[in-house]
Amino acid sequence: GQQVMQIPQYQHVQEGEDFTTYCNSSTTLSNIQWYKQRPGGHPVFLIQLVKSGEVKKQKRLTFQFGEAKKNSSLHITATQTTDVGTYFCAGNAGNNRKLIWGLGTSLAVNP
Amino acid sequence: EADIYQTPRYLVIGTGKKITLECSQTMGHDKMYWYQQDPGMELHLIHYSYGVNSTEKGDLSSESTVSRIRTEHFPLTLESARPSHTSQYLCASSDEGTGANTGELFFGEGSRLTVL
C-alpha cells in the first residue's frame, strides 16, 4: 500500500543547532502538508506544498518538495526550545482523497 | 484559532460503559475526520465524513461508530468501552481543498479516554 516514511524518528539537539526531518513516499504525491504537535497538544497545520521542487520559508523553517514529488523536508535553523514537538508530514497520492501520514519526527531541544 | 471543539477533554470510565465523544465545528466544513493517537505515536484515521449523511470507515479498524446528521456535528460513539479503547481521539475538519488534495486540517484539542 501507499506509505510515507519519516526520518529520523527522534532527534535531540542543543539549542541553536539546526534540525532537519525527511519525508519519503513510495508513490508520487500531489501535495505535502506539514503539521506540528506540541507535547500534550494537537496537530497544527504549518504549510502545504504542491509544486515540484517548491521551497517555502516561514521564519526559521524551510520546507521543500522534491522534484519527483516523492519526498519532502523540513529544516529548522537555529532551533529554540519552542520548536519542541513532533513534526508530521502528510500527503495525497493520485486520486486518493485521504491523507497519507508519516509516523512523525519527535524533536527535543536542550537549552 | 481553529473553531473546532471536542468534549469531554478527559474521560475515565469503567469497562462496558457506552460513551459518546462530541465534536463540533463552526467553519462550515463539509469534511470531518476522527483520528486515534496513542501518546507519541502516529495518527490513525478511524472515521471520516464528506458531508451530511455520509460516513466512511478509515484505515484503522475501530469498534466505534459515527454519525453526521448536521454539518457542524460529528460525534463518535463506543457502545461498550474496553481497556483496549484507551487512547486519545482527535477530531478534525477541512475545507474542500483543490482537486483531489485535502485542504488544511483543523484539529480539536482531543479527547483522552481511559477505560479501566
What does the DSSP assignment read for B19-38?
Answer: EEEEEEESS--SEEEEEEE-
Task: Give the pLDDT of residue B2.
Answer: 60
Are residues A43 and B102, on separate chains, in Cβ contact within 8 Å?
Answer: no
pLDDT at res. B61 = 81
Question: Looking at this protein, which amino acid is placed at residue A8?
Answer: P
Question: Residue B83 — very low, low, confident or very high, per pLDDT cuts 50/70/90?
Answer: very high
Residues of chain A positioned with their CB less than 8 A from the CB of B106: 45
Nearest CA distance, A42 vs chain B (angstrom): 5
A2: pLDDT strictly greater than 80: no
- Which chain B residues are Cβ-neighbours of A23 within 8 angstroms? none
Please check the confidence at residue A15 and state whether its pLDDT lies above 90. Answer: yes
Separation CA B93–CA A102 (nearest Å): 19
Would you call A102 and B42 a contact, using CB atoms and an 8 Å cutoff? yes
Is B58 a residue whose pLDDT tops 80?
yes
Query: Å from A37 to nearest chain B CA?
Result: 10
- Which among B42, B45, B110 has the least Cβ separation from residue A103? B42
Taking residues B96-116, what's their average pLDDT? 90
* pLDDT at residue A74 is higher than 90: yes
Mutate: best of B101, B111, B112, partner A, most A CBs <10 A: B101
In this complex, which of B50, B100, B107 lies closest to A43 when CB atoms are compared? Answer: B107
Cell numbers at B112, concatenated: 483522552
pLDDT value, residue B59 = 85
User: How far apart, in whole angstroms, are the C-alpha atoms of residue A92 and residue B4?
Assistant: 23
User: What was the pLDDT predicted at B100?
Assistant: 75
Residue-level pLDDT at B95: 86
- What average pLDDT does range A71-77 have in this prediction? 98
